[in-house]
């Protein structure tokens, strides 16, 4: 069952969508792909796809809150994305800055606990300032956790975790023989978060793109041909219904 207590209106919404509350994922992670492709297919500048993609972000967050999902993690900007044209990057940073401010009231009204994962280095000061303010204001909220992966790389996360563990060993605080999976998990950006149960990717690409490489070891993957600007609550419900039909064995056998 989801960790967040479900209200009667939530149960009604789940029933209307054909969803079983006992078979919901605790944590959904999303690779929001296809903004630029969506725009180019319509003869628009790539930035228009990013602009419209914010609406899909908003509707997905709102629907996950309504359905009682415990955590939603959105892949907003990878470290590889810095290779894009500077004009597009400047627009993305401005869009992120405006989003962090514009959605602050909604975050508080929806009782969302806001956080981010990824490296802070390279992000504009104005973006970091609004990130920190949203984290501070929402730190005592008890509803869904919203994690934005910004300037994120799964490989970089693992490298940073190993560096942190090596420092502990060098300081004599940790014996190499005592390093295990829990040690590494606790050193990741996502320490304390549940691993994703469901990974959604839009725009039809069949790859994980350096996203949560450690954490998605047993996540169910669901890919849609829809580009991110076209992703809506109906598509989310479809992914959740498909997830509910799957048998999750985690490497074991269901002998029942």
Domain, as residue range, for 216: 25-154+194-245
pLDDT at 251: 66
Q: CATH number, domain at 46?
A: 3.40.1180.10
Decide if 183 is inside a domain.
no
Catalytic hit among 9, 20, 33, 178 = 33
Decide if 18 is inside a domain.
no
pLDDT at 247: 87
Decide if 8 is inside a domain.
no
pLDDT at 103: 97
Catalytic hit among 9, 35, 81, 94 = 81
pLDDT at 248: 78
pLDDT at 7: 80
pLDDT at 1: 38
pLDDT at 45: 94
Decide if 162 is inside a domain.
no
Decide if 9 is inside a domain.
no
In the chain, how many domains are there? Answer: 1
Establish whether 33 is a catalytic residue. yes
| Cβ contacts of 146 within 8 Å, gap of 6 or more | 61, 71, 72, 73, 74, 107, 112, 113, 114, 115
Q: Each residue of 74-108: pLDDT tens digit?
A: 999 999 999 999 999 999 999 999 999 999 999 99
Decide if 163 is inside a domain.
no
Decide if 165 is inside a domain.
no
What stretches in the chain show pLDDT beneath 50? 1-2
Decide if 182 is inside a domain.
no
């Amino acid at each position: 069952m989801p960790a967040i207590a479900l209200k009667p209106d939530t149960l009604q919404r789940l029933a209307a969508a054909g969803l079983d509350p006992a078979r919901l994922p605790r944590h959904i992670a999303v690779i929001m792909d296809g903004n630029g492709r969506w725009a180019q297919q319509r003869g628009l500048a790539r930035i228009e796809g990013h602009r419209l993609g914010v609406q899909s972000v908003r509707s997905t967050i709102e629907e996950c809150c309504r359905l009682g999902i415990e955590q939603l993690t959105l892949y907003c900007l990878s470290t590889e994305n810095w290779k894009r044209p500077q004009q597009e990057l400047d627009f993305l940073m401005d869009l992120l800055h405006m989003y962090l401010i514009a959605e602050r009231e909604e975050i508080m009204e929806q009782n969302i606990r806001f956080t981010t994962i990824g490296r802070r280095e390279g992000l504009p000061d104005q973006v970091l300032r609004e990130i920190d303010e949203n984290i501070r204001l929402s730190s005592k909220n008890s509803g869904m956790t919203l994690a934005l992966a910004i300037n994120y790389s799964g490989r970089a996360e693992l490298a940073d975790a190993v560096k942190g563990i090596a420092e502990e060993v060098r300081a004599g605080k940790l014996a190499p023989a005592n390093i295990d999976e829990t040690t590494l998990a606790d050193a990741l950006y996502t320490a304390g978060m549940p691993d994703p149960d469901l990974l959604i990717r839009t725009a039809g690409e069949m790859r994980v793109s350096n996203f949560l490489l450690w954490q998605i070891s047993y996540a169910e993957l669901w890919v849609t041909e829809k580009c991110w600007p076209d992703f809506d609550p109906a598509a989310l419900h479809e992914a959740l219904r498909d997830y509910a039909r799957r048998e999750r064995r985690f490497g074991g056998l269901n002998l029942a």
